[in-house]
Chains A and B, each alone.
Chain A
Amino acid sequence: MEIFRVKKDIPFMKYRGISAVISTLIFVLAIAFLSIKGLNLGVDFTGGTIMEVSYPEAANIENIRETLVTLDLTDTQVQNFGTANDVLIRLPIIPDLSIAELSEKVAVALKAGNRDVEIMRVESVGAQVGDELYEDGALAILFVCLGIVLYLTMRFEWRFAIAAIVANLHDVIIILGFFAFFQWEFNLTVLAAVLAVLGYSVNESVVVFDRVRENFRKMRKASVEDVINNAITRTMSRTIMTHLSTQTVVISMLIFGGEILNNFALALTIGILFGIYSSIMVGCPLAMWLGTSQTNLVITKPESKNNSEAL
């Protein structure tokens, strides 16, 4: 079985004008959603409390709301979570009431209403901790970007590094755009997925760039465009197989992972799908546009020589 029976190289780079328009469009849209709707940040970042409670029968959401009102808790959200029996309650930070006391107060009130209610999970984050987690998240993204640019500059050259990181950030912005558009909750776990995508989707660029470098050595007379087209075509089979495998696992997570892993898997799915597109149609054109050519790549000695000993 061989899926890609291509006789000639697919002229990907011919469409770089169209892809540039598409990318810009999606990018602008994502930014627009982010700035208009904003991210639906979870308590990890905003501070506040979420409580997941489980009833033996279908939960009465109205009752729960009323119970909360009797506690003077007004700015709350109560919704079903997964099944009709499970309820997710969101509480804001209440001044003069420590987060520890708040969740305890609610738990006691709910238990008074129905003895069989089970508190499945409580997550309370103070305002300051929330700010710090937010800051750390931003720092982590920055660190990853710098790290990747540095490494790729060392292994390849700066043009590839810039191209790869722009392609990557393009994916990240799109993931965030989706989360803003659908108002899916963005929490620490989703942030982990975003960072994993940053690391993962750069693989795609590395594999293609590796081929490009190799092709520059072999196809000495070909144009830059042909070299890139050939590299993409030749790695196409690998691209599809790898992403298919990863996506398979992610689908398995979507099916079996439950509510907590749901948004994590969603972020990965978007990251994987757009990762394929961006490394081919954003990274490569960008590298070309920045002026990648034989002269700035071939200098590196083939490294397969010294590594073959290890095998």
Chain B
Amino acid sequence: MNQFSGWKYGVIIISVILSLVYALPNLYGESPAIQIMPIKSGEKIEPSILASVESGLQEKNLAITGLIIEPFSIKIKFASPDEQLAAKSYVQQVLGESYVVALNLISNSPSWLTGIGALPMYLGLDLRGGVHFLMQLDLSKVSEKKSDGLLQDTRKLLRDEKVKYFASKKIGDTIEIKFRSADALSKAKDIIRSQGGGRGIFGGSISKTTEAYEFSEINNTDEFILLVKNNDISNEDTVSFALKQNLETLNNRVNELGVAEPIIQQQGKDRIVVQLPGVQDTAKAKEIIGRTAILEMRIVDEDQSSPENLETLNPDNLPLGTELYKDRFGNPILVKKDIILTGERIINAGPGVDQQTGQSIVSITLDSAGANIFKQVTRENVGKRIALLLIEKNITEVITAPVIKSEIGGGRVQITGMRNAQEATDVALLLRAGSLATPMEIVEERTVGPSMGKENIARGINSTIWGFLAIAIMMASYYMLFGVISVIGLSVNLLFLVALLSVIQATLTLPGLAAIALTLGMAIDANVLINERIRDELRNGNTPQASIKIGYEKAWGTILDSNITTMIAGIALFMFGSGPIKGFAVVHVLGIITSMYSAIWVSRSIVNYIYGSRRKLDSLSIGEIFKVENN
């Protein structure tokens, strides 16, 4: 009655072997390495650079211990972190700015393991060291800008369509346009509505059939007022678009930072998580990531910019539709509120030198929409100045305001007015990496130093190993052979858990390591239940074979119930937990699943293998059983 059919043994043996293979990479450890990636993600690496890097490193006496070539990156392993650092600075120097050279740790497991997708467990930041940022988008700016854009778009539309209005202004998030006739108002309304394809200031993707605005009217005897407001759909669209752009921008910036395996993800509606493993210079990371620079191009209001006029301007009472800023030399510049272009239209930017003046410049390339707008605006504004505004930390500065000499087509623009080459490089980087659609603030930071990470790993592993050994001794001495079988089941459980975590590449954190230890302590419950049940049956006078069978059967229901309740807690932790707690939850839940399999199937298979085929079985090695005489 206690015999498994061959296929059951087969399944168990195969699952154990598979787990062994997939858990194996964890034993090999990691080597320091450098990772070479093109600065623009998605570009392939020129094959020729590898040879030059290799020979260069050889000359410098930096021995390459391993080389992994992938389409989008080259990873070079070294024996020591010192060599790794030396190699990084050397390679960066050789390759220049079109490549990023990042430090990384790469598994030493043999290539056949990597080939079948067997990787070591993915360690969280608290175990490998690094920085975690949670960034919050400032959405107040988004809707404000959007209503600004709406006002400008509407004015332009009405002018183009020759609909006469006599006043227009923005009140909060609503724009107000006053007409002389009801006719003009309804015509204007139709025009605005037909433009409802919702190209807000940050673009957007509302389909044309969706109403993007909310209208209301006030009809007086001599004036007809139209109120227009972006509706919720349109605002949501703008927010998600702003978030997408910020994500992309962060991606580019982190790329420039040279981090091997960054994680940049949306969290919730208006937050972004940035995780940079191995980053030690947190100050630099914060500076580059946190830079909230926004670039805008606007036309200077030349009509009211005579020197006398500028001096007498009252900042609280500026001419309609203008704003007053200062340029780098402290001179006031009066610019129009209409934004011609923002940084999002820039597809490339690089530092350079003006061949005529020798000044440092930044040359930028606009995308086709940007190029069209730029062409039109420069045609209409020849002789006027175009101002480039950089908005950083709520301070707006006019970097430069060159005079438009002629229409500029083709989308290639040069920005002069850089102080020096360094600044040209910085501005180019900022423009190339993109600007943010809306400012962000770091609302959570968790930094773990590299030595702390190592310590944490040792803490987690020691807790697990010593806890495991103590349990093994207890079980074996209390339940004898059945105790030993339980311990084997427990070891297999540990193996399954490690293999599973490696395969799904779930992030392992310090609480996760604690969960592995805790899972072992809890998983033994199933074995204890089974062993106690078998003892019970023996005590009740059943034969050993029957006791095994009934013991396992009766224990099963209890094990299921108790594991499901534990699972409920695990799932809640996963749903509501964040960061390290999620790590705990994942391991906890997986551990419950593996422990049920190993306690019920694996341990049963061993018991069956040992006892199942014996016809005459007088006793089980399950420890001394105390019998109650009167029972």
Q: Which residues of chain A (225-253) have a CB below 8 Å from chain B?
A: 234-235, 237-238, 241-242, 244-253
Q: Binary interface profile of A, 119-153, with partner B (CB < 8 Å = 1, else 0)?
A: 11111111011000100110111011001100110
Contact at A126–B444, with CB atoms within 8 Å? yes
Contact at B566–A203, with CB atoms within 8 Å? yes
Contact at A248–B521, with CB atoms within 8 Å? yes
**Which among B462, B567, B624 is the interface contact of A256 at CB below 8 angstroms?**
B462
Q: Is A118 on the interface with B (CB-CB < 8 A)?
A: yes
Count residues of chain A with CB under 8 A from any CB of chain B.
Answer: 86
Give complex CA distance A308, B604 in Å: 12
Q: Binary interface profile of A, 169-208, with partner B (CB < 8 Å = 1, else 0)?
A: 0000000000000000000110110011011101100110
Q: Is B470 on the interface with A (CB-CB < 8 A)?
A: yes
Residues on the A chain within 8 Å of B571, using CB: 147
Q: Binary interface profile of B, 565-576, with partner A (CB < 8 Å = 1, else 0)?
A: 111111111011
Contact at A257–B566, with CB atoms within 8 Å? no
CB distance from A135 to the nearest CB of B (A): 9
**B490 (CB) vs chain A CBs: closest residue:** A245
Contact at A238–B532, with CB atoms within 8 Å? yes
**Which among B511, B569, B604 is the interface contact of A144 at CB below 8 angstroms?**
B569
Residues on the A chain within 8 Å of B577, using CB: 136, 140, 188, 192
**B525 (CB) vs chain A CBs: closest residue:** A242
From known contacts A2-B625, A120-B452, A210-B558, infer whether A140 and B572 are also in contact, taking CB-CB under 8 Å.
yes
CB distance from A125 to the nearest CB of B (A): 5
Q: Which residues of chain A (71-87) have a CB below 8 Å from chain B?
A: none
Chain B at the A interface: mostly helix, strand, loop or mixed? helix
Which of A2, A5, A247, A268 gathers the greatest number of chain B CB atoms within 10 Å?
A: A2
Q: Is A10 on the interface with B (CB-CB < 8 A)?
A: no
Give complex CA distance A189, B477 in Å: 34
Contact at A249–B569, with CB atoms within 8 Å? no
Give complex CA distance A60, B532 in Å: 56
Q: Is A296 on the interface with B (CB-CB < 8 A)?
A: no
From known contacts A103-B445, A199-B568, infer whether A155 and B576 are also in contact, taking CB-CB under 8 Å.
no
Contact at B626–A5, with CB atoms within 8 Å? yes
Residues on the A chain within 8 Å of B474, using CB: 241, 244-245, 248
Interface range for B: 35 or more
Give complex CA distance A181, B477 in Å: 39
**Which among A121, A126, A245, A249 is the interface contact of B528 at CB below 8 angstroms?**
A245
Residues on the A chain within 8 Å of B419, using CB: none
**A250 (CB) vs chain B CBs: closest residue:** B521
Q: Is B286 on the interface with A (CB-CB < 8 A)?
A: yes
Q: Is B242 on the interface with A (CB-CB < 8 A)?
A: no
**Which among A2, A126, A195, A304 is the interface contact of B624 at CB below 8 angstroms?**
A2
Residues on the A chain within 8 Å of B444, using CB: 99, 124-126, 129
Q: Is B347 on the interface with A (CB-CB < 8 A)?
A: no
**Which among A52, A139, A242, A252 is the interface contact of B576 at CB below 8 angstroms?**
A139
Residues on the A chain within 8 Å of B535, using CB: 2, 237
Contact at A245–B572, with CB atoms within 8 Å? no
Contact at A155–B463, with CB atoms within 8 Å? no
From known contacts A188-B580, A234-B536, infer whether A123 and B572 are also in contact, taking CB-CB under 8 Å.
no
CB distance from A16 to the nearest CB of B (A): 24
Contact at A104–B282, with CB atoms within 8 Å? yes
Contact at A206–B282, with CB atoms within 8 Å? no
CB distance from A294 to the nearest CB of B (A): 19
Residues on the A chain within 8 Å of B223, using CB: none
Give complex CA distance A98, B554 in Å: 59
Q: Is A255 on the interface with B (CB-CB < 8 A)?
A: yes
Q: Which residues of chain B (431-463) have a CB below 8 Å from chain A?
A: 441-449, 451-452, 455-456, 459-460, 462-463
Contact at A253–B558, with CB atoms within 8 Å? no
CB distance from A213 to the nearest CB of B (A): 9
Q: Which listed segment binds B: A29-37, A62-70, A258-266, A283-291? A: A258-266
CB distance from A126 to the nearest CB of B (A): 4
Contact at B562–A207, with CB atoms within 8 Å? yes
Which of A2, A3, A245, A257 gathers the greatest number of chain B CB atoms within 10 Å?
A: A245
Q: Binary interface profile of B, 549-564, with partner A (CB < 8 Å = 1, else 0)?
A: 0001110111011101
Contact at B524–A256, with CB atoms within 8 Å? no
Q: Is B102 on the interface with A (CB-CB < 8 A)?
A: no
From known contacts A235-B532, A308-B553, infer whether A1 and B441 are also in contact, taking CB-CB under 8 Å.
no
Residues on the B chain within 8 Å of A125, using CB: 443-444
Q: Is B395 on the interface with A (CB-CB < 8 A)?
A: no
Give complex CA distance A121, B524 in Å: 35
Contact at B623–A250, with CB atoms within 8 Å? no
From known contacts A100-B442, A121-B447, A195-B569, infer whether A203 and B562 are also in contact, taking CB-CB under 8 Å.
yes
Q: Is A295 on the interface with B (CB-CB < 8 A)?
A: no
From known contacts A120-B448, A121-B447, A199-B567, infer whether A304 and B553 are also in contact, taking CB-CB under 8 Å.
yes
Contact at A99–B442, with CB atoms within 8 Å? yes
Q: Is A115 on the interface with B (CB-CB < 8 A)?
A: no
CB distance from B575 to the nearest CB of A (A): 7
CB distance from B288 to the nearest CB of A (A): 12
Contact at A126–B443, with CB atoms within 8 Å? yes
Contact at B463–A249, with CB atoms within 8 Å? yes
Contact at A99–B445, with CB atoms within 8 Å? yes
Contact at B569–A1, with CB atoms within 8 Å? no
Residues on the B chain within 8 Å of A118, using CB: 449, 451
**B459 (CB) vs chain A CBs: closest residue:** A258
CB distance from B74 to the nearest CB of A (A): 32
Contact at A248–B471, with CB atoms within 8 Å? yes
CB distance from B465 to the nearest CB of A (A): 8
**B286 (CB) vs chain A CBs: closest residue:** A100
**Which among A119, A188, A203, A252 is the interface contact of B466 at CB below 8 angstroms?**
A252
Give complex CA distance A7, B536 in Å: 14
CB distance from A210 to the nearest CB of B (A): 5
Q: Is A299 on the interface with B (CB-CB < 8 A)?
A: no
**A260 (CB) vs chain B CBs: closest residue:** B510
Contact at A121–B467, with CB atoms within 8 Å? no
Which of A4, A5, A128, A304 gathers the greatest number of chain B CB atoms within 10 Å?
A: A304
Contact at A137–B576, with CB atoms within 8 Å? yes
Contact at A151–B514, with CB atoms within 8 Å? no
Give complex CA distance A123, B445 in Å: 6
CB distance from A254 to the nearest CB of B (A): 9
Contact at B463–A245, with CB atoms within 8 Å? no
Residues on the B chain within 8 Å of A120, using CB: 448-449, 451-452
From known contacts A238-B528, A242-B528, infer whether A121 and B449 are also in contact, taking CB-CB under 8 Å.
yes
Q: Is A57 on the interface with B (CB-CB < 8 A)?
A: no
CB distance from A23 to the nearest CB of B (A): 21
**Which among A122, A203, A241 is the interface contact of B478 at CB below 8 angstroms?**
A241
**Which among A152, A188, A206, A260 is the interface contact of B558 at CB below 8 angstroms?**
A206
From known contacts A122-B282, A252-B470, A256-B466, infer whether A1 and B477 are also in contact, taking CB-CB under 8 Å.
yes
Q: Is B253 on the interface with A (CB-CB < 8 A)?
A: no
**Which among B283, B525, B553 is the interface contact of A203 at CB below 8 angstroms?**
B525
Contact at B511–A200, with CB atoms within 8 Å? no
**Which among B133, B464, B521, B569 is the interface contact of A199 at CB below 8 angstroms?**
B569
Give complex CA distance A203, B449 in Å: 39
25 A/B residue pairs, CB under 8 Å, sorted by A: A100-B133, A100-B442, A118-B451, A119-B282, A121-B446, A123-B446, A140-B577, A188-B581, A192-B573, A192-B585, A196-B569, A196-B573, A199-B567, A199-B569, A203-B522, A203-B525, A241-B478, A245-B525, A248-B470, A248-B521, A250-B467, A250-B518, A252-B470, A260-B459, A311-B604
Closest A-B pairs by Cβ, 5 of them: A199-B569, A249-B521, A249-B467, A252-B467, A126-B443
Given contacts A140-B576, A241-B528, A248-B474, 10 further A-B contacts (CB under 8 A): A2-B623, A104-B286, A120-B449, A124-B442, A148-B565, A152-B565, A188-B579, A203-B566, A245-B475, A311-B552
**Chain A residues proximal to chain B, CB less than 8 Å:** 1-7, 52, 54, 98-100, 103-104, 107-108, 118-126, 128-129, 133, 136-137, 139-141, 143-144, 147-148, 151-152, 155, 188-189, 191-192, 195-196, 198-200, 202-203, 206-207, 210, 214, 234-235, 237-238, 241-242, 244-253, 255-258, 260-261, 264-265, 268, 303-304, 307-308, 310-311
